[in-house]
Amino acid sequence: MWFMYASLAAVSFGLRGILYQWTSQRRTDRNVLLFGVYLSGALISFAVNLFVNQAWTYGVWLGVPMGLFSFIANASMYKGYSVGRASLIALFTGLPPVVVATLAYFLWGEALGIVQLAGFCIVILGLLVIRYSHDLKLGQLQGIQWGLLTMLFFGFTDLSSKQATLSAANTLPLLTVMYGTGTIMFACMYLLSRLKVPAETGQKIVASETASVSTNDRELGYGHDAQHAQISRHSDEDKGLPGSEDDLRTHPATGGTDNPASPEWSMKRTVLWGMTVGITNLAGMLFIIPAFRGGVTGIVSAISAMSVVLVLLYAQFYLKENISRREACGMLLALAGILVVRLAS
């Protein structure tokens, strides 16, 4: 059963990646969107548990580090999709099993059998071949730092999920704590961004006013009344230029360059869409936790990482990022590795 759960987790996380990439190209507030994602997970987990009534043991508090790690990983992945190539970020979302398998060996002494190890290596080789390119230039590596953070912290999320299962934590209370933690983190990030935007805007206005007044005083000898009029004129102009070139280059709320042709989403629309995307995220966690209970940590993580295939197919058919022969071979290798793992289980 654990193999089926891991496979379903891969499908769910693949859909999540597709929705993240699509949404990242819209004018949305990243923190509001991910607040909705985690709020959805927390509310659904809590509501379902009111009927299922799973016990709240001490192990459920491992949901706090799970939430923190997942918060960093999801924020990094979303940021990466907004500034880099979808296929490059997808590569790093497929590599957490390397982190997981390595640390699981040192933490719990989990060693893979010979056939399992062979299958694991084939999967990882396939994931690497998918995006390996000898002509990859520095200019094509935008967002690589966000991809690395995504890889590390999704790996840490998997490890903390496994530790929670070893502590006999029940799934729904665990996910309630995890998503509740993430909800609080993204709410705090949103509030901080709201406090930061007025401060930066005020600094730009003051700097503009000071430079303008200084120039006019020096060249034209303006007095106090003229200086006041000059400041008022600049203030009115600043208020009337929300779509100026500078405003489009740096949009602190969205965390990236906005598409001027796309209308900015309202907070209500962003939260509701985030809650919709959150269903795929929650589904992935509901599948992967039982998989961790029954399977080897590194293998489960490797199978769930096959979500990269869905994202790459989306990049091929929707984003028109052509899949090369090498990438197609990588997909076949990864699928063959999963087949080997399945036969060895």
In the structure, what pLDDT confidence band is assigned to residue 143 with cuts at 50, 70 and 90? low
Average pLDDT over residues 170-199: 90
Q: How far apart are CA 27 and CA 46, in angstroms?
A: 31
pLDDT, position 95: 75
pLDDT, position 291: 93
Give residues with Cβ within 8 angstroms of 20, minimum separation 6. Answer: 74, 77, 78, 81, 277
Q: How far apart are CA 113 and CA 105, in angstroms?
A: 12
Angle at 275 between CA 77 and CA 13, to 5 degrees: 45
pLDDT tens readout for residues 203-240: 555 555 555 444 444 443 434 443 333 333 333 333 33
Q: Which of 164, 153, 159, 155 is nearest to 110 (CA)?
A: 159
**Chain Cα centroid distance, residue 325:** 28
Q: Which of 153, 171, 190 is nearest to 44 (CA)?
A: 171
Q: How far apart are CA 177 and CA 287, in angstroms?
A: 17
Overall residue count recorded for the chain in this entry: 345
Helix axes 171-220, 224-239, angle to 10 degrees: 140
Average pLDDT over residues 16-20: 87
pLDDT, position 63: 95
Q: Which of 119, 104, 102, 121 is nearest to 344 (CA)?
A: 119
Average pLDDT over residues 154-162: 92
| DSSP codes joined into one string, 129-196 | HHH--TT--GGG-TTHHHHHHHHHHHHHHHHHHHHHHHTT--HHHHHHHHHHHHHHHHHHHHHHHHHH
Note the helical H segments in 53-133.
63-83, 86-93, 96-108, 114-131
Contacts 24+ apart (CB under 8 A), 276-279: 276/40, 277/16, 277/19, 277/20, 277/23, 277/33, 277/36, 277/37, 277/40, 278/36, 278/37, 278/38, 278/39, 278/40, 278/41, 278/44, 278/179, 279/40, 279/44
Which 3 state secondary structure label does DSSP give 109?
A: coil
In the structure, what pLDDT confidence band is assigned to residue 50 with cuts at 50, 70 and 90? very high
The whole-chain average pLDDT of the chain stands at 77
| DSSP codes joined into one string, 236-256 | HHHHT-TTSHHHHH--TTTTS
